[in-house]
Every structure is written in structure tokens, then in C-alpha cells.
Structure 1
Amino acid sequence: MDWDDLRIFLAVARADSLSGASRRLAIDASTVGRRIARLEQVLGAKLFVKTPQGYALAPEGERLLPHAEAAEAALSDAREALSGPGDLTGQIRIGAPDGCANYLLPQICARLCEDHPGLEIQIVALPRVFNLSRREADMAIAVSQPQAGRLVVQRLTDYQLHLAGHEDYLRRHPPILTREDLRGHRMIGYIPDMIFDRELDYLTETGADWAQLTSNSVSVQMQAVRTGAGLGIVHDFAIPFCPGVRRVLTDAISLTRSFWLIRHADDRRSQRMNRIADALAQGIRAEVARLQGLITLEGPSQERA
């Protein structure tokens, strides 16, 4: 059995389609299809079932999957054993909610790339939970701890969020001194039926019944706040990127959430993955502390409460 055929099998199993696998492997979809057909012929088994949604694993494919993943892990271990504990190399895909992906990961990953020129980092920013079993990402950052699955879960750091508005918006409206003063203000938040994690349900913290301007993206919400469209709950670590955005009612409305690093259980044996996870964890802790420290240093003039 050819390892390259197994590699293509894994890509199709994780992407659920020939086209998705071809993009990840950088080969054309017709070649992917031919290689899968060849592997099925060699094994004498049907590995996939074509459905309207794409390619689903057949029972034989389900049985092959853990063995293919074990071969993948063994090959990675062999590369590490030969290369030793030097520079990190190869591709790593990190999934994250878009707030973390926009305001934290770019500078953290830039430093990693500087330290390890042979490392290729892909940041996938999606407002939903990642499926590591399908290898949508090699590791993922989440805002709540998963309760099921063969996963390694590590708490990274706490972070703070506050109600905020742009100084132009605040100048145009009466002072906000209590929660009652929020009545009549335009609120910005998540689309209710697209909140993919209960930790993102911020609106109840403000006492507001609804938000007039909503998005499934926290970055879009922050840009709406920055343009003076209203008030919204924002990450403290994002405020330094948005000049003019000021926190309000910091004593009355203050949220604390956590970031979690999630990895597939099989990756615990990989020294390379452990090193990347450690570097990512240290970077996120340091960057959250640095950016939130910038808000603290600005003191009361940053707030209107």
C-alpha cells in the first residue's frame, strides 16, 4: 500500500469532497479521484460513498481511517526523530474564533515564523466550533471547554470584555452613568440564532432586550462600534486596534471569558505538535496580557462611567 495514496485518502475523508482535498493537497481533483479509485482497487474495498453533500466514508473507509492516521503520526514521529529538536518545519493549520484570529494570532504567528523560517502557518478564522476529528485544523482555540471527543484540552488564559462605543458616538448621546441610561441606545451584537457557543451570548449582560445591528462575526461587530454605529460588548484586547473606542459602565458590566487550546488526542505523541502548542499558548497569554495592559494604562480617561 502506497503512503501517498493513504495521504490522499485522509485528505478526502477530512474534506468530504474531491475538490476540498485537491485544494489542500495542491493537486487537481481528477487526480485525487483516480488515486482514490486505485487505492480502492488495491484494497478490494469501497472506501467512500458519493452523496449530495460530497464523499462520505463507507464502512470500510471508517475501518481504514484510524490506521491511516496512525501511519501519518508514525511518519511525523520519524521526521522528528531524524531532524532533532531544531527548527520547527512543515505546515500547521490553526482554527480560531475570529476575534482571536484577527487581534491575537497574526502577531503571535509572525513571531513564530521569524523564529522558525521553515514553518508554514495557516490561520482559519471561523465563527463556529472546529471538528478536529475531521482535521479541519491541526489544533483549535475555543471559548469553552469541549465535553466530548478524543481531545487534549488546555486552558490558555482568561480575557476581559466590556461595553464600549466610539467617542464620536458617545459625544452625540447623553452620558451613560447607569444601566438605565442604556435605554434608547443602539446596541450591536451577535445574530441570536447564529451564536455557536453559549459563552458568546453577551447581550443579557447589558440588560438590553435586543440588538438592532447584528453580525455572526465579532470583528464586524467591533468595526460597527468603531464607526460610531452604537454600543457593543468588545474584547479589551481588541480596543488598542480601534482608536477612539472607549469603554463605558466598566464597574457595572464586565465579562470574563477563557481561551482553550484543543488538540487531537493522537497528537500527544508528537514532539513537534507539543512544541507548537507550547509556543502558541505562551504567545496568547503574553499578547492578551500586553494588550489588556494598554487599556489599564490609559486609566479613567478611557472610560465613561
Structure 2
Amino acid sequence: MTPNWDDMKVFLAVARLESLSAAGRDLKVDPATVGRRIARFEEQMGAPLFAKSPQGYALTDAGQRLLIHAERAEQAMTGAVEELAGQAGNLSGTIRIGAPDGCANFLLPQVCSRIGKENPDLEIQIVALPRVFNLSKREADMAIGVSAPEAGNRLTVQKITDYKLYLAAARAYLIKHPRIQSLKDLRGHRMIGYIPDMIFDKELDYLAELGLEHVNLASNSVSVQFNAIRAGAGIGVVHGFAMPTAPRLRKVLGDAVSLTRSFYLIRHADDRRLERMNRFAEALSEGLREEVARLEQDQ
């Protein structure tokens, strides 16, 4: 018997979320119903597709092989819907972007707002997490990263733009503490940065690159760090594009100490066939380039 598309959607949800309850929430059906659908689907396919364990549902070898074809079918179905809907007009539907919280807090709201105004039927979801996104499990339709993935398994990577980071502190902090004339002088100051064992990308290890190993106040979130610096708790590394939102922040050692990093757009390779995703990716990339340039110019 040829499986129908509804069965395939249930299979894809469990394969990506590795849980009946999570798949049920995603599909808006009862987990018990998901379990019955999977059992029936496995019977139709004549092979076990999942191995159940305390950690959840893991794909078997047969499930792994089926996943490739299921994702291709999903892409074909999405492409057909787009073509019939006449996607030459405004974008519609839902697109989820994963991004590190610095980009998500200081850039994406403005960029996505402009895209949304031009495409009123489009729902944009921004997932801000201080970690790498797993696109193969569809945690997001596309992700913004601070480095290109080393293992590009079925992924495409496009550089969006460079951006600057600076040492900064609140004006009130600098007034109350000894003057800083070199990096050596920072050893007597309170430093703010990432929790060392929670740095999820080597590109974020800013203080180590500057030869500053000690951290007095740490967080895995760049937004928490930024607010702590703005509150006068110490000195830390701040995105140049975030500086205009905190006029009382001052660069420490001026432009003499700065770092350059890059944003990359990471996508499913198969999504390159979808005009809707391509158009959104183009608008997103162009919007981010313009917003970084605008905010860095306003520092």
C-alpha cells in the first residue's frame, strides 16, 4: 500500500522531534494518536522505522532511508503548493529563523518587520538561542550562524556580512574606576563575558582572543552580558550594531581594540529549489547587511 501524505507528515514529525508528545504538539493531535499512526505506518511499510528508548524515538536504518525520500516528498509538495498559489506575488505561510541572541535582539526585529510589512500574509518566527541550530530536525527553516558549519551535510552556507565588536563599559563605571590605557590595565577591572564551558562557537571566545581570561560576571547570553555592561557592572565585548541602543556606553581603548566577525545564512540544501525560501533568504540577507551598516555608522 502506498502511504498517504498525512502518514508521511506524522513520520517526519516524530523523526525530527524524537518524541510522540512533541510530535503531537507540533501536529496538534493527541500523542496516543501519533503512536497509533506510527504503528500503522510501520505495518504498511513492512519494517520498524523507530527504536524506542528512554531518550525517545530514534530512527532505525530503515527509518533513515525513508527519511531521505520523505523530505524530498515534502519539498515537492511545498513547491507544488507555492506554484499553484502564485508565489510571484507576496510571500505567505510561516518561516522560522534560528539566530544567536545578539542578532535576534538587535537586528532581526527591524529587518523582519520591514519584510513583514511588504508581505502581510507572511508569519515570521524568530527563535533566539545561544547555541547551534539543528536544521536537519527542522528546529528552523533557516539559521544565522557566526561561523560556517564544518560538516555541510545537506546544508548550504552563504556569507551575509561582517560586523564589528568592541570593548565597552558604561560611562558611570569608567568614571569610578582607574583609567585604562592598555589591555594590561584591564586586569584590575571587572570583566563580563561568556561562561567558558558554554561557548558554543569558537568565534565567540572574544576575551581569550584579547588575552583576557578572567571573567567576573558571566552568562551564556550576549543580551544578559550587554545589559550587565550597560548597568555598570564591568567591561565586556559589545557588538558595534548594539552600541546605538545604549548611548551611555563608551568604547574602551577606542577603535584600537576591535574584533571582526561574520554572519552566515545556513539553509537546507533542498530548500534552494523553493522560490519562496529563496526570495525570503535574499530579503533577509540584504536587510541584515543594510541594518548592520546603518547601526555601525551611527555608533
TM-score interval (norm. to shorter): over 0.9
Asked if 1:264 corresponds to 2:268, the answer is: yes
Verify the 8 A CA contact 1:167 1:245 in the aligned structure 2: yes
From 12, 15, 23, the equivalent of 1:13 is 15
Residues 37-58 of structure 1: CA distance to partner in whole angstroms, max 9, x if unpaired?
2212222221111111111111
Deviates more, 1:112-121 or 1:153-162: 112-121
Aligned pair 1:130/2:133, yes or no? Answer: yes
Q: CA deviation at 1:177?
A: 2.1
Deviates more, 1:280-289 or 1:109-118: 109-118
What TM-score, normalized by structure 2, do the two folds share?
0.95
- Paired position in structure 1 for 2:292: 288
Q: How is 1:83-162 mapped onto 2 (pairs within 5 angstroms)? A: 83-84=85-86, 85-148=88-151, 149-162=153-166
In structure 2, C-alpha distance between the alignment counterparts of 1:241 and 1:184, rounded to whole Å? 27
Query: In the alignment, residue 126 of structure 2 is paired with which amino acid?
Result: I
SS for the counterpart of 2:298 is helix
Residue 208 (1) aligns with residue 212 (2): yes
User: Partner residue of 2:194?
Assistant: 190
CA distance in 2, matches of 1:247, 1:226: 12
Distance 1:19 1:95 in 2: 22
In structure 2, runs of 5+ residues without a counterpart are none
Give the alignment partner of residue 40 of structure 1, picking from 38, 42, 45: 42
CA positional deviation for 1:175: 2.0
Q: Which moved more, 1:27-36 or 1:157-166?
A: 27-36
Aligned to 1:255: 259
Give the letter aligned to residue 69 of structure 1.
Answer: E
Deviations 1:12-61 (A, max 9, x none): 11111122222322333222222222212222221111111111111221
Give the distance between the partners of 1:33 and 1:90, measured in 2 at CA: 28
**Correspondence 1:68 to 2:70:** yes
Distance (Å, rounded) in 1 between the aligned partners of 2:145 and 2:201: 9
Structure 1: which 5+ residue stretches go unaligned?
Answer: 296-305
1:145 Cα deviation from its structure 2 partner: 1.0
Aligned residues: 295
For residues 209 and 104 of structure 1, the distance between their equivalents in structure 2, rounded to whole angstroms, comes to 29
Q: CA offsets per residue over residues 185-217 of structure 1, 9 Å max, x none?
A: 000011111111110010123332311111111
Q: Distance in 1 between matches of 2:44 and 2:182?
A: 71
Partners of 1:115 and 1:136 lie apart in 2 by 25
Superposition deviation, residue 146 in structure 1 = 1.2
Quick one: which amino acid aligns to residue 130 of structure 1? Answer: F
* Secondary structure of 2:256's aligned partner: coil
Look up the match of 1:31: 33
* Alignment partner, residue 300 of structure 1: none
- Structure 1 pair 26–114 and aligned structure 2 pair: CA distance change class (3 A): farther
For 2:81, the equivalent position in structure 1 comes to 79
Of all paired residues, the percent bearing the same amino acid is 64
Alpha-carbon distance in structure 1 between the residues aligned to 2:205 and 2:269: 29
The one-letter code matched in structure 2 to 1:188 is I
Amino acid at match of 1:212: N
1:102 CA drift (Å): 1.1
CA distance in 2 between counterparts of 1:56 and 1:79 reads 30
**Contact in 2 for aligned 1:93/1:139 (Cα 8 Å):** yes
Q: Distance in 2 between matches of 1:38 and 1:69?
A: 20
